[in-house]
Amino acid sequence: MATTRKHQQTIRTPDWVKHAVFYQVFPDRFARSERNELPRGLRLQEWGATPTQTGFQGGDLYGVVDRLDHLAGLGVNALYLCPIFASASNHRYHTYDYFQVDPLLGGNDALRELIDRAHDRDIKVVLDGVFNHTGRGFWPFHHILENGGDSPYLDWFHIHGWPLHPYPGPRQKPNYSAWWSMAALPKLNTDCPAVREYIYEVAKHWIDFGADGWRLDVPGEIDDDSFWQEFRRVVKGANPEAYICGEIWHESQRWLQGDQFDGVMNYVFTGPAISFFAAKTFRSDFVHPHLPLAELDARQFSRKVDYMHGLYDWEINFAQMNMLDSHDMARLAWLTQEHSAQRLCVLFQMTMPGAPCIYYGDEVGLAGGPDPGCREAFPWHKPDAWDRELLRHYQQATALRHAHPALRTGSFQTLHAEGDVYAFRRALGDDDLMVLFNTAFEPQELSIRVAGVADGEFRQVWPSGPSRNHAVRDGLWSPDVPARAGVVVVRA
């Protein structure tokens, strides 16, 4: 049901997103708070237990409130929460009540406190919207299970036969449409007017409640531009500065024309970044259908970066959510297998156009493999196990981004892409920076031509420490760069 745009409209994205550093929270595994008053006798896994597909470790939204100091110290000013609504799964993508925060997470009162305390610190809160499918416990689906073809909610789903098989055997498929044919996830019929109205009501309700936007789960499964165009009108009508971000793993021009989403989870950024900065070290046994990794040199990497930027209007490029990992893939540390590769990836992420997103726990060295390994508990209970040097690296990299407007909304120009060395320039008014990466395992002596600068003085701002001056003479910058390192300089 794709529709054709009759004309290109002016694209506008929320300004705050361009200046955001996101932090993705998987609520069950981020932090458990004693303030969450749960009924006695609940059986939760021990905090820090080996993550499983079905186990609950008891993280909650009060726990997120309790750790806002950590997030603020990390330089975070936006949260992206994995689903929080009532569900029978630890990841909560099996929603059964879209108007109630899961009681295990503290209920609606806990979300109220989180939004209020986050906003007190100028931290935005983006929720995860799962609107393609529900859980089996969603009340209209349960109504059909109880009443069969006599249920008035029959058109809310795609039913293919009777009796329904909500718990099919190993050789039996569900006889209703379900996401990836998983019986636990019946697919909503978004052609049904009542379903559309319900989803729009949910979307508006939580924006009115105070949420700052929606991350949309598998929105490409709802193959209907008009659905998302109306979704945007509803959300932006409630708050014109609300952020709408789709989970699309590939090129996303269809959804990024200014009438549907503001950005996507930018996995088109993720794969090339790991493939270049960890070219010699990434895991060869990592298999993911949407995120292929292949060793890249600087020239190949540069072409991919320029191609990515050419896909969209710059309003969109500045509002992309740039990921290095997430709850749906192995963690960055597991993939790269080498500390300097993770550090290079993070510095690149913090100096590029688009809003960087840190997956919870990466900053202290969590290194879980593919799902469910990547969903381990944050080690608040083992502070001695934290990689403090890595944490400082993240803090310094986010501080660098916050200190320089050019790194957020400045122009982008490739300066050099040869072998193991990649360099680019970001400029906005008087804020003029050059960023250089050496991925080789030995130092490099370089001579890089800087277009438009005959002579000039630049001051080193990365690595931190005593400032070192860099000169451009006759249009050439000649830095010496250590092995596996980045250098950032700003015009003095």
| Bridge partners (DSSP) listed for residue 97 | 86
Among 60, 102, 217, 387, which one carries the catalytic annotation? 217
Six token digits for residue 140: 């209209």
Tokens 């969109």: give the residue.
316
217 as an active site residue: the answer is yes
247 as an active site residue: the answer is yes
Among 247, 262, 362, 432, which one carries the catalytic annotation? 247
Six token digits for residue 375: 């969903």
Would you name the residues annotated as active-site residues? 217, 247
